[in-house]
Amino acid sequence: MKARPEARNMGLILYPGSFDPLTNGHIDIMRRALERFDELRVVVANNSRKQTLFSAEERVELVKESLANEARVSVVALDGLLVDYAREVGAKTLLRGLRQVADFEFEFNMAAMNRHLYPEIDTLFMMTGADNFYVSSSLVRSVAALGGDIDRLVPAPVALALRDRLTTSTIDSGPE
Ligand code: ADP
Protein backbone atom coordinates (compact mmCIF):
# COMPACT_ATOMS: atom_id res chain seq x y z
CA MET A 1 0.00 0.00 0.00
CA LYS A 2 1.33 3.45 -0.89
CA ALA A 3 0.99 6.47 1.35
CA ARG A 4 -1.01 9.27 -0.19
CA PRO A 5 1.49 12.14 -0.06
CA GLU A 6 -1.08 14.65 1.13
CA ALA A 7 -2.12 12.37 3.96
CA ARG A 8 1.35 11.59 5.26
CA ASN A 9 1.30 13.95 8.13
CA MET A 10 2.41 11.90 11.12
CA GLY A 11 5.29 9.58 11.94
CA LEU A 12 5.14 6.34 13.83
CA ILE A 13 2.02 4.81 15.32
CA LEU A 14 2.20 1.80 17.66
CA TYR A 15 -0.52 -0.83 17.49
CA PRO A 16 -0.42 -2.82 20.74
CA GLY A 17 -2.42 -5.97 21.42
CA SER A 18 -2.43 -9.71 21.93
CA PHE A 19 -2.96 -10.68 18.27
CA ASP A 20 -3.75 -14.28 19.28
CA PRO A 21 -4.07 -14.56 16.33
CA LEU A 22 -4.05 -11.64 13.88
CA THR A 23 -7.45 -11.24 12.15
CA ASN A 24 -8.79 -9.32 9.17
CA GLY A 25 -10.32 -6.92 11.72
CA HIS A 26 -6.83 -5.98 12.91
CA ILE A 27 -5.62 -5.62 9.33
CA ASP A 28 -8.51 -3.35 8.40
CA ILE A 29 -7.67 -0.75 11.03
CA MET A 30 -3.96 -1.07 10.31
CA ARG A 31 -4.54 -0.21 6.65
CA ARG A 32 -6.65 2.76 7.62
CA ALA A 33 -4.05 4.01 10.10
CA LEU A 34 -1.38 3.72 7.40
CA GLU A 35 -3.26 6.30 5.36
CA ARG A 36 -2.49 8.78 8.11
CA PHE A 37 0.84 7.62 9.51
CA ASP A 38 4.13 6.94 7.77
CA GLU A 39 4.95 3.85 9.75
CA LEU A 40 3.04 1.40 11.92
CA ARG A 41 4.58 -0.99 14.44
CA VAL A 42 2.56 -3.90 15.77
CA VAL A 43 3.51 -4.46 19.42
CA VAL A 44 2.66 -8.00 20.46
CA ALA A 45 2.14 -8.22 24.20
CA ASN A 46 4.14 -11.02 25.73
CA ASN A 47 2.13 -11.24 28.90
CA SER A 48 3.00 -14.46 30.67
CA ARG A 49 -0.06 -14.22 32.92
CA LYS A 50 -2.35 -14.48 29.93
CA GLN A 51 -2.88 -17.91 28.44
CA THR A 52 -2.52 -17.69 24.67
CA LEU A 53 -2.93 -20.21 21.88
CA PHE A 54 0.19 -19.01 20.06
CA SER A 55 3.45 -18.00 21.75
CA ALA A 56 4.61 -14.40 21.39
CA GLU A 57 7.21 -15.53 18.83
CA GLU A 58 4.54 -17.34 16.81
CA ARG A 59 2.22 -14.33 16.92
CA VAL A 60 5.04 -12.05 15.74
CA GLU A 61 5.87 -14.49 12.94
CA LEU A 62 2.24 -14.63 11.80
CA VAL A 63 2.05 -10.84 11.60
CA LYS A 64 5.31 -10.82 9.60
CA GLU A 65 4.09 -13.50 7.19
CA SER A 66 0.68 -11.90 6.75
CA LEU A 67 2.07 -8.42 6.09
CA ALA A 68 5.25 -9.40 4.30
CA ASN A 69 4.69 -6.90 1.49
CA GLU A 70 4.03 -3.92 3.72
CA ALA A 71 7.31 -2.05 3.94
CA ARG A 72 5.85 0.45 6.39
CA VAL A 73 4.75 -2.18 8.91
CA SER A 74 7.08 -3.70 11.50
CA VAL A 75 6.41 -5.97 14.45
CA VAL A 76 7.98 -6.58 17.85
CA ALA A 77 7.17 -8.62 20.96
CA LEU A 78 7.13 -6.65 24.20
CA ASP A 79 7.56 -7.91 27.76
CA GLY A 80 7.58 -4.59 29.56
CA LEU A 81 5.41 -1.51 29.87
CA LEU A 82 4.05 -0.13 26.60
CA VAL A 83 4.62 3.53 27.50
CA ASP A 84 8.27 2.83 28.31
CA TYR A 85 8.67 1.29 24.88
CA ALA A 86 6.85 4.24 23.26
CA ARG A 87 9.19 6.67 24.99
CA GLU A 88 12.20 4.66 23.93
CA VAL A 89 11.27 4.69 20.23
CA GLY A 90 9.85 8.22 20.26
CA ALA A 91 6.26 7.23 19.46
CA LYS A 92 3.46 9.48 20.66
CA THR A 93 0.41 7.70 19.28
CA LEU A 94 -1.16 4.35 20.08
CA LEU A 95 -3.75 2.70 17.86
CA ARG A 96 -6.68 0.76 19.28
CA GLY A 97 -9.86 -0.52 17.71
CA LEU A 98 -13.39 -0.21 19.00
CA ARG A 99 -15.92 -2.83 18.03
CA GLN A 100 -18.75 -2.18 20.42
CA VAL A 101 -19.79 -0.19 23.45
CA ALA A 102 -18.49 -2.99 25.66
CA ASP A 103 -14.93 -2.21 24.53
CA PHE A 104 -15.23 1.41 25.63
CA GLU A 105 -14.82 1.30 29.40
CA PHE A 106 -11.67 -0.78 29.38
CA GLU A 107 -10.15 1.24 26.53
CA PHE A 108 -11.04 4.54 28.20
CA ASN A 109 -9.29 3.52 31.42
CA MET A 110 -6.28 2.14 29.61
CA ALA A 111 -5.85 5.30 27.53
CA ALA A 112 -6.14 7.46 30.65
CA MET A 113 -3.62 5.31 32.53
CA ASN A 114 -1.17 5.50 29.64
CA ARG A 115 -1.47 9.28 29.61
CA HIS A 116 -0.95 9.36 33.35
CA LEU A 117 2.28 7.40 32.89
CA TYR A 118 3.38 9.30 29.78
CA PRO A 119 1.52 12.59 29.30
CA GLU A 120 2.76 13.00 25.73
CA ILE A 121 1.10 9.81 24.53
CA ASP A 122 -2.32 9.78 22.91
CA THR A 123 -4.51 6.87 21.86
CA LEU A 124 -6.22 6.97 18.49
CA PHE A 125 -9.39 4.87 18.41
CA MET A 126 -10.58 3.59 15.14
CA MET A 127 -14.04 2.14 14.73
CA THR A 128 -14.14 -1.33 13.30
CA GLY A 129 -14.95 -1.70 9.61
CA ALA A 130 -18.57 -2.68 8.85
CA ASP A 131 -17.41 -6.15 7.78
CA ASN A 132 -15.38 -6.81 10.89
CA PHE A 133 -17.38 -5.72 13.93
CA TYR A 134 -18.02 -9.35 14.95
CA VAL A 135 -14.46 -10.53 14.29
CA SER A 136 -12.36 -11.14 17.39
CA SER A 137 -9.36 -13.38 17.97
CA SER A 138 -11.25 -15.32 20.64
CA LEU A 139 -14.25 -16.07 18.39
CA VAL A 140 -11.94 -17.04 15.56
CA ARG A 141 -10.20 -19.49 17.90
CA SER A 142 -13.53 -20.93 19.02
CA VAL A 143 -14.92 -21.29 15.51
CA ALA A 144 -11.70 -22.86 14.27
CA ALA A 145 -11.67 -25.28 17.22
CA LEU A 146 -15.12 -26.49 16.24
CA GLY A 147 -14.15 -26.97 12.62
CA GLY A 148 -15.86 -23.82 11.28
CA ASP A 149 -14.62 -21.96 8.22
CA ILE A 150 -12.35 -19.11 9.25
CA ASP A 151 -10.76 -18.48 5.84
CA ARG A 152 -12.48 -15.14 5.28
CA LEU A 153 -11.81 -13.92 8.82
CA VAL A 154 -8.03 -14.20 8.96
CA PRO A 155 -5.05 -13.89 6.58
CA ALA A 156 -3.98 -17.13 4.86
CA PRO A 157 -0.89 -17.79 7.04
CA VAL A 158 -3.06 -17.53 10.17
CA ALA A 159 -5.68 -19.92 8.77
CA LEU A 160 -2.91 -22.41 8.09
CA ALA A 161 -1.38 -22.00 11.54
CA LEU A 162 -4.78 -22.46 13.20
CA ARG A 163 -5.41 -25.68 11.27
CA ASP A 164 -1.96 -26.88 12.12
CA ARG A 165 -2.39 -26.14 15.82
CA LEU A 166 -5.81 -27.78 15.84
CA THR A 167 -4.42 -31.08 14.71
CA THR A 168 -1.99 -31.10 17.61
CA SER A 169 -3.95 -29.59 20.50
CA THR A 170 -7.32 -28.47 21.75
CA ILE A 171 -8.11 -24.80 21.53
CA ASP A 172 -9.09 -22.89 24.61
CA SER A 173 -11.46 -20.14 23.67
CA GLY A 174 -10.72 -18.18 26.87
CA PRO A 175 -10.43 -14.42 27.18
CA GLU A 176 -8.87 -12.26 24.43
P1 ADP B 1 -6.03 -6.99 23.38
O2 ADP B 1 -5.92 -8.26 24.17
O3 ADP B 1 -5.00 -5.97 23.78
O4 ADP B 1 -7.40 -6.42 23.31
P5 ADP B 1 -6.40 -7.85 20.64
O6 ADP B 1 -5.42 -8.53 19.74
O7 ADP B 1 -7.63 -8.61 20.99
O8 ADP B 1 -5.57 -7.42 21.91
O9 ADP B 1 -6.83 -6.47 19.99
C10 ADP B 1 -5.90 -5.48 19.68
C11 ADP B 1 -6.65 -4.24 19.26
O12 ADP B 1 -7.31 -4.49 18.03
C13 ADP B 1 -7.73 -3.81 20.25
O14 ADP B 1 -7.76 -2.39 20.29
C15 ADP B 1 -9.00 -4.35 19.63
O16 ADP B 1 -10.13 -3.58 20.00
C17 ADP B 1 -8.68 -4.18 18.16
N18 ADP B 1 -9.48 -5.09 17.35
C19 ADP B 1 -9.60 -6.42 17.47
N20 ADP B 1 -10.47 -6.92 16.57
C21 ADP B 1 -10.92 -5.87 15.86
C22 ADP B 1 -11.87 -5.69 14.80
N23 ADP B 1 -12.55 -6.72 14.31
N24 ADP B 1 -12.08 -4.43 14.33
C25 ADP B 1 -11.41 -3.40 14.87
N26 ADP B 1 -10.53 -3.48 15.86
C27 ADP B 1 -10.28 -4.69 16.36
Distance between CA 173 and CA 176 in Å, rounded?
8
* Strands 10-17, 93-98: pairing kind: parallel
CB 21 within 8 A of CB 55: no
With a 6 A CB cut-off, is 24 part of the ligand 1 pocket? no
173 among known catalytic residues: no
**Residue 101's pLDDT is what?**
85
CA 142 to chain CA centroid, Å, is 18
Mutate to test the pocket of ligand 1, among 13, 28, 29, 82 (most ligand atoms within 8 A of CB): 29
Does the pLDDT at position 175 exceed 60?
no
What strands lie across the sheet with 93-98, from one edge to the other? 73-78, 37-45, 10-17, 93-98, 122-127
* Strands 10-17, 73-78: pairing kind: unpaired
Distance between CA 106 and CA 126 in Å, rounded?
15
User: Chain-wide mean pLDDT for the chain?
Assistant: 91
Picking from 65, 63, 66, 67, the residue whose alpha carbon sits closest to that of residue 78 is 63
Picking from 40, 28, 32, 25, the residue whose alpha carbon sits closest to that of residue 70 is 40
Distance between CA 130 and CA 40 in Å, rounded?
22
Going from the Cα of 88 to the center of ligand 1, the distance in angstroms, rounded, reads 24
What number is the average pLDDT over the span 103-122? Answer: 96
Q: Which of 18-27, 87-96, 125-134, 153-162 comes out lowest in average pLDDT?
A: 125-134
Give the pLDDT confidence of 124-166 residue by residue, as tens digits.
Answer: 999 998 889 999 999 999 999 999 999 999 999 999 999 999 8
**Residue 176's pLDDT is what?**
60
